[in-house]
Amino acid sequence: MLISAYDAGSHLYWRKGLEQQLGEYDWTVITLPARFFSWRIRGNPISLLAEYSVDLSADYDFIVATSMVDLATLKGIVPSLAKTPSLIYFHENQFEYPKRQHQPASIEPQMVNLYSAMAASAVVFNSEFNRDSFFAGIDRLMEKLPDYTATHLSKKLAAKSSVIPVPVNDDWFDIARFDKEQTNLSSDGQPVKILWNHRWEYDKGPDRLLAFLNALKSRDILYEINIVGEAFRKIPGEFNTIEQNFADNINAFGFIPDAQHYKTLLSQCDIVLSTAIHEFQGVAVMEAVSAGCLPLVPDRLSYQALIPEKYRYCSNIESPEFEANAAVERLLEVTSHTDTTIRASFKQYGWSSLVERYRHEINRLIAR
């Protein structure tokens, strides 16, 4: 059984990849739509029972579920699943997820993550940052609770954990490049083509993107910006400001639903930029690098393990303006030479490289 309780973005991407790459398993796939976050993470066992004709009590060999699934509760209310070997996959964790402004603090999502990890046979994270911040969050929680806590709980859970990234589809590495190969990007008289390809939400740093564009303008740097990604009902106001103030530099702006159109755009861009204040892995950046873009990312989060230091600019959460200037300086360094080695090195994150690690984890479940 494969359960994705918030089936969008990297969750959807990963789930479909797992089905395709591990086709030797007869998957029973159960998904829930990505909306009503608070209800989805706390109420998904009810939804799974109420909305699906799938027989949850069938004799499954193993369960693979995302961390949005309340695995402990599901095992409790479907007795036949109680002893079924299970793997919980963490795309993110609620201990590290930044809170929206004016959002009330709630321990509920954290407890869902924690109980699911305790109920699972194996715990897999998509990045070292995700794993480390999860266990650090558990330790902080145990220190705050009044009594009867498990002081070594994080160590016990760590013993059954591993890190396997969400793999990149292998066809990204086959995309032909149409950029200024083997030339000095910052001095050939052509604009540097920059890609910002993230969700249009506060945690992806739209205020920092705006500060970065202002910094480029103040330095009279010749550039073209492509701001693409999925938008939701509440769009941060910075995007409206950017569209109005930088119209002459914008090539693409908005969501690109056609996959081939999106791949063509990436093949023409020089730099993929992240301004994220929250990123547990960064699949969008990984895809762009796999397509031949050079990364320009903050020196924090999952990027510290994923992206070489020469492509990371100085991180300063307290000052978007300082960080923007640091990003521009790093941009000039990155575009002063051509580097094709990072694209080749990212093949280690492709499905063909990682599929055996997933297969190994699942075979361990079956062996139980």
Let me know: does 368 contact 121? Beta carbons within 8 Å: yes
Quote the tokens at residue 143: 């220190």
CA torsion angle 221 226 230 231 (round to 10): 60
Task: Determine the topology of domain 170-348 in CATH.
Answer: Rossmann fold (3.40.50)
2-167+351-367 matches 170-348 in fold: yes
Poorest-pLDDT segment among 99-113, 178-192, 352-366: 178-192
For residues 219 and 208, give the distance between their C-alpha atoms in angstroms, rounded to a whole number.
Answer: 17
For residues 19 and 301, give the distance between their C-alpha atoms in angstroms, rounded to a whole number.
Answer: 29
Where does the pLDDT of residue 104 fall: very low under 50, low under 70, confident under 90, or very high at 90 and above? Answer: low
For residues 90 and 113, give the distance between their C-alpha atoms in angstroms, rounded to a whole number.
Answer: 9
Let me know: does 327 contact 209? Beta carbons within 8 Å: no
- Greater pLDDT, 98 or 45: 45
Cα distances from 280 to residues 48, 93, 94, 143, 360, in angstroms, run 26, 8, 11, 24, 23
**Percent of the chain at pLDDT exceeding 70:** 94
Residue corresponding to tokens 């060999």: 61
- Residue 203 predicted with pLDDT over 50: yes
227 three-state secondary structure: strand
Arithmetic mean of pLDDT, 27-55 = 88
- Greater pLDDT, 50 or 32: 32
Poorest-pLDDT segment among 202-206, 272-276, 340-344: 340-344
Arithmetic mean of pLDDT, 236-265 = 96
Break the chain into its structural domains and give their ranges: 2-167+351-367, 170-348
Please give the pLDDT value at position 337: 79
Enumerate residues 6+ apart whose C-beta is below 8 A from 17: 166, 167, 169, 351
- Residue 187 predicted with pLDDT over 80: no
Please give the pLDDT value at position 183: 43
Kindly provide the residue ranges of all beta strands, DSSP E only, lying in 61-177, ordered along the sequence: 63-66, 86-90, 122-125, 161-163
Cα distances from 27 to residues 30, 61, 64, 86, 260, in angstroms, run 9, 10, 10, 14, 28
For the chain, the maximum distance between any two Cα atoms, rounded to a whole number of angstroms, is: 67
Instruction: Output the CATH code of domain 2-167+351-367.
Output: 3.40.50
Please give the pLDDT value at position 265: 96
Please give the pLDDT value at position 204: 96
Alpha helices in 227-334 (DSSP H): 238-245, 259-268, 283-290, 303-306, 320-334
Quote the tokens at residue 96: 């590290």
- Greater pLDDT, 330 or 57: 330
Where does the pLDDT of residue 51 fall: very low under 50, low under 70, confident under 90, or very high at 90 and above? Answer: low
**Percent of the chain at pLDDT exceeding 90:** 83
Please give the pLDDT value at position 101: 47
Render pLDDT for 280-317 as a digit per residue (tens, 0 to 9): 999 999 999 999 999 999 999 999 999 999 999 999 99
- Residue 98 predicted with pLDDT over 80: no
Render pLDDT for 211-226 as a digit per residue (tens, 0 to 9): 999 999 999 999 999 9
Q: Say how many CA atoms lie within 13 Å of 181 toward its Cβ.
A: 8
| Concatenated DSSP letters of 17-63 | HHHHHTTTS---EEE--S--HHHHHHHHHHHHHHH--S-TTS--S-E
Kindly provide the residue ranges of all beta strands, DSSP E only, lying in the chain, ordered along the sequence: 2-4, 29-31, 63-66, 86-90, 122-125, 161-163, 192-197, 223-228, 250-254, 271-273, 294-298, 312-313
- Greater pLDDT, 180 or 85: 85
Render pLDDT for 120-177 as a digit per residue (tens, 0 to 9): 999 999 999 999 999 999 999 999 999 999 989 999 999 999 999 999 999 999 998 8
Let me know: does 346 contact 174? Beta carbons within 8 Å: no
Mean pLDDT of the chain: 92
Quote the tokens at residue 145: 């609770």
Please give the pLDDT value at position 56: 86
Global pTM value: 0.92
Please give the pLDDT value at position 182: 38
CA torsion angle 95 101 107 113 (round to 10): -40
